[in-house]
Amino acid sequence: MTSTYRSIAGIDTSTPTVEGLKILITGGAGFIGSHLVERLAGPNQIVILDNFARDALTASGLADRPEVQVVRGDVMDRASVQAAMENCDTVIHLASIAGVDTVIRSPVRTMEVGLLGTANVLREAVRLGHIKRFVDLSTSEVFGRYAYKVSEGDVTHLGVVGEARWTYAVAKLATEHLAMCYQREQGLPAVSVRPFNVFGARQVGEGAIHNFIVRALRDEPILIHNDGSQIRSWCHVDDLVEGLLLALSRPQAVGQVFNIGNPRSTLTIYALAKEIVRICGSKSQIRFIPWDYPDVELRIPSIVKARKLLGFEPKVDLDEGLKRTIEWYRANLEGNERSPIDTNGKSVRSDGEA
């Protein structure tokens, strides 16, 4: 891999140029995966391992590109992992069960895919012995219900044992530890990234911005759990991809965990819904419904470490990101029948991970 470097006050702030690699992206058919494929395909060969339970890839046409190979399979199946990783020299591991409602419905599978699936991918990477970088996508959920300017060194929270809401976070935190253990004990050049509430074009699933925009463009009621006072920092997917490429290319990233988010783009869920209604020019009403499950009340990252070691700096502020995202959804709702945009008539939660 190569990078073009420039430095400000001793910190490299260049956009990484990653080329000449064969990269396995597990979960590559999903929202974040599709944006990584879009950014990396061409200068690199891309292998996608995914069961297509959430498909943001097909409608994009990216799977049809000659430098993209799709392996339909599951990280729970070691044979599928071995077949997909063969001849790859880089791994970006995104595959997991996502979406809070899905996690609550399927806590066993959430933990098994997180723990056993990630173990399968890590073991195969070590067995091959030539992986140049292993990037593990974790979650900001590891910080629990109240997280104000949290840094990577702050204490993480496991939640109440038996509460399905926290199984995703528990599994992700365990796999962070596992990846770092493989790095220290087996020499695997691993790095973990914790994204904070990612949004953008092609999002599928239960994310708040995805659902708010779709319903606003249809002039349908926007349903918010509880009073909408939950606070989030929203990160546009382009900035997350930039952070992942920095983690992939910077030598100093190995053996580290990084928060990737945009603390400047912070507001309540209620304010977010109002802003989306305004930008869309929508007639949607905002309604509040009770929701008795545990929720994250406050989540704002510190990105000091990512700035210092990676040169990461979010570039897309919330207003610009919302305008870009709304423009994409407007075009796809009106004219692209291949795009799997659906809110299933549900109220939505405050989380935006994919």
The torsion defined by the Cα of 271, 296, 151 and 206, in degrees rounded to 10, comes to: -70
What tokens does 148 get? 């104000």
Distance CA 349, CA 27 (A): 22
Distance CA 15, CA 242 (A): 7
Q: Tokens 């599709």 map to which residue?
A: 34
Question: What is the secondary structure of 283-352 as a DSSP string?
Answer: -PPEEEE---S----EEEE--HHHHHHH-------HHHHHHHHHHHHHHHHHH-TTS----TT--B-S--
Counted residue by residue, the chain has a size of 354
Rounded to the nearest 5°, which phi and psi values hold at 135?
Answer: -105, 120
Q: Sign (positive/negative) of CA torsion 68, 69, 70, 76?
A: negative
Distance CA 160, CA 178 (A): 22
What tokens does 36 get? 């990584």
Provide the annotated active-site residues.
168
Distance CA 274, CA 43 (A): 41
What tokens does 239 get? 């900035």
